[in-house]
Amino acid sequence: MSLEYRSPTTDEFATVLRAAAAAFGDEPKEDDIERQRRLMPSDRVLAAWDAGRPVGVTASYPFELTIPGGHVPAAGVTWVGVLPSHRRQGVLRELMRRQLDDVHERGEPLAILWASESVIYGRFGYGMAAPVTELDAERNAFALRDDPGPRGSVQLVTADEAAELFPPIYERVRGERPGMLSRSDDAWRYGRLADPEHWREGSGPKFYALLDIDGESLGFALYRIASKWDGGTPQGEVRVVEALATTPEATAEIWRFLFGIDLVVRLKSDAADPAWPLFLMVADPRRLHLSVSDGLWLRLVDLEAALHARSFAAGDPVVLQVSDDVFQRNAGRWTVGAEIVRSDQEPDVALDVADLASAYLGAFSFERLAAAGRARELRPGGLARATALFATPLPPYCPEGF
C-alpha cells in the first residue's frame, strides 16, 4: 500500500473526524464536529490517506499534566483508529510512530491516553500510569462512620454559572494531584459542562451541584439520573460524571448529597479517585462495590526532560537501566536523585520505558513492578531506593477520559 500521511486542511477536518468515528462503528453529530473544531488544533491531527480518503487517524490535545512537584506539557492522544478495510497492514503502527515524533518536536516530554483496548499501547512504550476506581454503590446502604451530621449546603447551578464557579475549585485540586489535566475555558464549556442529548445514553440531563461550607465553595459534582420504575417502585441510578472537593470534609459532604438523591437505588462512576477517602469514611465500604480499571496511560517521549521536570523525594540516588525500542535517545543508564544525568555506573534496576512510565506519577512502586516481572533488581537495595525517590503522598488520579 502506498499511503500519504499528513494533517487535514480546514475543509478536510470534518471528513477526518468522521473517519475516526467510523473506526469505532459510529458517526459524529454536527455539533460534535463544531465542538472539536474548538478543542482540537488541526495541525495535531494526523491521518493516513488512501487515494485522497482518510483511512486511519490519530490526534492529540495540548494538555498540561500535573506531575509530582509541578506541571509539564503533555500530548493527550485520542481519535486513534483505522478503518476495517485497512487494518493489520501497519497503518496504526506508522501513525503512532509519526505522532510520537511530532510530540517530541513540539517539546512535549509526555504523551498520555485512555486506551480503548489496553493490549495495544504497551508495544508503543505506554504504561499504566494512573489507575482509576469504578463505583457501583448501593444508595440505601450509604452511611458515614461516626457521622457528626451534615455541614454546609449544596445548590444546583446552571451550566453558565458552573463555568464560572467550578474551575477555581478544580484548579485547587489539580495543582496538588499528579495525573490531573489542565482545562481551558473552551474545555469546560464545550467539554466537561456540555450536555448534548446523544451523550446521555438513556439518562436525563446533566446537573451541576456546588457545595459551600462556611461561605466558601469547596466542592462540586456533575451528574445525571437514569430513571427506571419496576412494579411502581423506583429503580433508577445516579451517574456521577465528576465529583471533586478540596478537603476530606467537603468530599464527605458532596458525596452525602449525591447519595441523598431520591428515587434511585444505585450510584455509579467509572472514574473515581483511587485514594478516595470515602472508602474509609463509610460504615460499610463493601456496599460501594469498588473495582479498579487501568485509567490513564503514559509514554515518556523525552525521558531526560521528563525526569528533570519531576521532583523526587529525599533519598540515595539510583541508577536505572532503561530500554526503549522506539527511541534510542531514552535508552541507557540514568542516575536519578539530586541530579538527573546519564551514567556509566553499574545499574541498580533495569526496566523498560513503559514500566518506568507506570512509576513516573507514583502509581506503582518498583517492588510491585518487580513482583510482576516488569523490573529487575541488579544491585541489592536498588528497588527500595528507587521506590523511595519516586514516592508520592497520594497515587495519581485522572478523573476524565478524552
> Crossing angle of helices 30-39/13-22, nearest 10°?
110
Say how far apart CA 154 and CA 245 lie, in whole Å.
12
- Kind plus residue range of the DSSP H or E element containing 208: strand 207-213
Tell me the three cell numbers of residue 33.
464536529
402 is annotated as an active-site residue:
yes
Q: Which of 78, 75, 74, 73 is nearest to 32 (CA)?
A: 78
Give the three cell numbers for residue 149: 451530621
CB 23 within 8 A of CB 83: yes
Query: How far is the C-alpha of 165 from the C-alpha of 218, rounded, in Å?
Result: 10
Residues of 321-334 as b/e, b for ≥16 C-beta within 10 angstroms?
bbbbebbeebbbbb
Catalytic site residue from 61, 170, 259, 402: 402
Q: Exactly one of 63, 121, 166, 397 is catalytic; which is it?
A: 121
The whole-angstrom separation of Cα 318 and Cα 89 is 41
Query: Grid coordinates representing 264?
Result: 434511585
**Residues annotated catalytic, as ranges:** 121, 402
